[in-house]
Structure 1
Amino acid sequence: MPPISSHFLELFDAAGQARGVHISAELWSRIRDKALPILERALYELDPSCRPQPEERPEPVAEWESLLAYWDFTYPPAYDVACAHCGASTPDWRADEPRRFRLRGANLGGLVTFQCQSCKSLILKKHFKKHLTVECLPYVERCS
């Protein structure tokens, strides 16, 4: 590649360290479709915060309401949620705006799951007939 071109120019600082690249609009239009996926993958590795957030599905509140409608445990329902990993907590997850914890699922067997919005940990509240147990699992990023 020629060292100086109106279409491609590598930029260096006074110490000779590479600082960037300038690509003309014409060159970019020719390579964009092939180069952009490669650049995005590299960018997401260098700076994960640049990743687009996946679309969040709505909280399954109807599942929670079904659990409450058929509640036959020996204790009242608890609305408090706490994350053992980052220390976030709330006395009533339903009242928070914005949400500190998002309801991920609830079933008639008594399992209710939440996701911490601070550290993305998963909080499992397991309702048994006479007692409740709580587990907090750290967030694990899935490979795609």
Structure 2
Amino acid sequence: MFSDKDIQGLYDHKGILIGVFISSKLWHAIEDEVNPIIDKHLGTSEENETVQVMEEPIEDWENFLKFWDFRYPVEKNVVCDNCGAETSDWTADTPKKFLLKAANIAGLVSFQCLQCKSRIIKRHFKDHIKYEIIPFKED
């Protein structure tokens, strides 16, 4: 079902492991099991969710921009097709409409709509972006 290519270490110039890349296919298969473990180690919980809401992986976004080599300009617009929220620049909104949830140098950038909690995923390929929305589901 999965192969070694679905999980790869990311190393710095000294050979030190700085992160792990998990394919979206593998992530979708394991995220429900892994997220509680990650939350436990990050010290997050439902009680402090309001504090967690404002934390964004901005360093990951900056690394994404640093390694940008696509054939089109960086776009900062985000649209939630679930509730209609939209922005032309998520980095400049006050108050925020979307929360950056993840970004990686492979081109995956995802946001959470702060209005309806849907997940907006932008998969950057060399010559286009594939957009995906995952509506929020209460557990």
Shorter-chain TM-score above 0.5? yes
Cα deviation, 1:75-111, whole Å, max 9, x if unaligned, reads 1110000000000000000000111000000001100
Q: What residue in structure 2 maps to residue 137 of structure 1?
A: 134
**Are residue 90 (structure 1) and residue 93 (structure 2) matched?**
no
4+ long deviations beyond 6 Å: none
Cα deviation, 1:46-95, whole Å, max 9, x if unaligned, reads xxxxx856241510000000010010001111000000000000000000
Equivalent pairs counted in the alignment come to 92
Cα RMSD (Å): 1.5
Q: What residue in structure 2 maps to residue 25 of structure 1?
A: none
Equivalent residues in 2 for 1:1-144 (5 A)?
54=49, 55-56=51-52, 58-142=55-139
TM value normalised by structure 2: 0.63
Cα deviation, 1:3-30, whole Å, max 9, x if unaligned, reads xxxxxxxxxxxxxxxxxxxxxxxxxxxx
> 2:120 is matched by which residue type in structure 1?
I
CA distance in 1, matches of 2:85, 2:116: 9
Structure 1 regions of 5+ residues with no counterpart? 1-50
CA distance in 2, matches of 1:112, 1:120: 16
> 1:56 is matched by which residue type in structure 2?
Q
Q: Give the drift of 1:141.
A: 2.4
CA distance in 1, matches of 2:57, 2:80: 20
Identity %: 47
CA distance in 2, matches of 1:115, 1:136: 10
Change (3 A) 1:91 1:111: same
Larger Rg: 1
Structure 2 regions of 5+ residues with no counterpart? 1-45
Cα deviation, 1:110-142, whole Å, max 9, x if unaligned, reads 000000000000000000011101111100223
